[in-house]
């Protein structure tokens, strides 16, 4: 397992028990993704949840596809255990989903706000559409968390470890690997009393990154010094893909 995934696994394992209490945008995104998908795809029998977390997305999809067989995949064993209790499925993989070689095929693959963590989205899309007839996902796009990131960039620091794709860039990219059946864009804004509260939001989701030790004192000082309200904006693209 790559070291970056070991860090991610530890973070998500630690955030498993608090995730559902703070997953405001993730819940809304799951529900919107399931609704969008239900209008395009009828009665899939097998569904693969990629980066399932605590099962919020599969739970949302069960409202539309209650008789489907769900398979859960996540890097975090703690999150998988919570998800299994919700979804009541015996099918699951604790694995680095991006690099895992699946043996089975599925009618539908789903992924809610997990693909932005992947190193090679192109390679993953080519792989997932060989095992899934349809793949529907939501993903963070360029401009997400702008106000929070700008707070640190003013001091010559950066706290976002991932580059988010531009919406048009993403649409072009995914269109190379599948036929776009449906798509949508939503923005979810969360307001926090200060920067420290916003940072804790990421921590309780398990979605924080390991801080560079050289910058840690400066980053922490910046968090404590910003005492006014701050917004975390989730810019989310939704796509339903069909295998070409």
What are the extents of the domains in the chain?
3-145+161-190+233-243
CATH topology of domain 3-145+161-190+233-243: Rossmann fold (3.40.50)
Task: Give pLDDT, residue 152.
Answer: 84
Q: Which two tokens stand for residue 143?
A: 């401009």
Strands 230-243 and 132-140: antiparallel
Mean pLDDT value of segment 115-121: 91
pTM score, whole prediction: 0.93
Per-residue pLDDT of 190-214, as tens digits, reads 999 999 999 999 999 998 654 444 4
- Number of neighbours of residue 115 by Cβ within 10 angstroms: 24
> Among the listed ranges 2-11, 16-25, 28-37, 45-54, which one has the minimum average pLDDT value?
2-11
188: which DSSP letter? E
CA distances from 78 to 4, 18, 62, 74, 243 (A): 18, 11, 21, 9, 32
Q: Are 223 and 197 in contact (CB under 8 A)?
A: no
pLDDT at 21 over 80: yes
Task: Give pLDDT, residue 137.
Answer: 98
209-214's contacts with Cβ under 8 Å and 24+ in sequence apart are 209/7, 209/11, 209/159, 209/161, 210/7, 210/11, 211/159
- In 3D space, the residue among 125, 130, 122 whose CA is nearest the CA of residue 111 turns out to be 125
Q: How confident is the model at residue 5 (pLDDT cuts 50, 70, 90)?
A: low
Per-residue pLDDT of 84-102, as tens digits, reads 999 999 999 999 999 899 9
Question: In angstroms, rounded to a whole number, what is the distance separating the alpha carbons of residues 46 and 107?
Answer: 5
Q: Which helix (H) or strand (E) holds 131?
A: helix 121-131
Per-residue pLDDT of 61-75, as tens digits, reads 999 999 999 999 999
Mean pLDDT value of segment 132-145: 96
């Amino acid at each position: 397992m790559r070291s970056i995934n070991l860090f991610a696994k530890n973070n998500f394992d630690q955030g498993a028990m608090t995730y559902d209490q703070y997953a405001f945008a993730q819940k809304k995104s799951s529900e919107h993704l399931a609704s969008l998908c239900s209008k395009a795809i009828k009665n899939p029998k097998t569904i693969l949840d990629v980066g399932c977390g605590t099962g919020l997305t599969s739970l949302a999809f069960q409202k539309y596809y209650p008789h489907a067989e769900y398979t859960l995949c996540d890097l975090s064993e703690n999150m998988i255990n919570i998800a299994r209790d919700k979804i009541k499925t015996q099918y699951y993989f604790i694995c680095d989903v991006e690099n895992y070689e699946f043996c089975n095929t599925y009618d539908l693959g789903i992924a809610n706000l997990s693909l932005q963590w992947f190193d090679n989205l192109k390679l993953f899309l080519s792989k997932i559409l060989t095992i899934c007839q349809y793949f529907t996902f939501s993903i963070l796009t360029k401009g997400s968390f702008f106000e929070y990131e700008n707070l640190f960039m003013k001091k010559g620091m950066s706290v976002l470890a991932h580059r988010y794709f531009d919406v048009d860039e993403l649409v072009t990219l995914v269109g190379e690997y599948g036929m776009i059946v449906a798509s949508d864009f939503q923005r979810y804004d969360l307001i926090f009393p200060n920067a420290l509260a916003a940072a804790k939001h990421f921590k309780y989701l398990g979605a924080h990154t390991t801080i560079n030790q050289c910058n840690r004192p400066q980053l922490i000082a910046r968090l404590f010094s910003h005492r006014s309200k701050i917004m975390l904006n989730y810019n989310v693209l939704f796509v339903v893909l069909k295998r070409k």
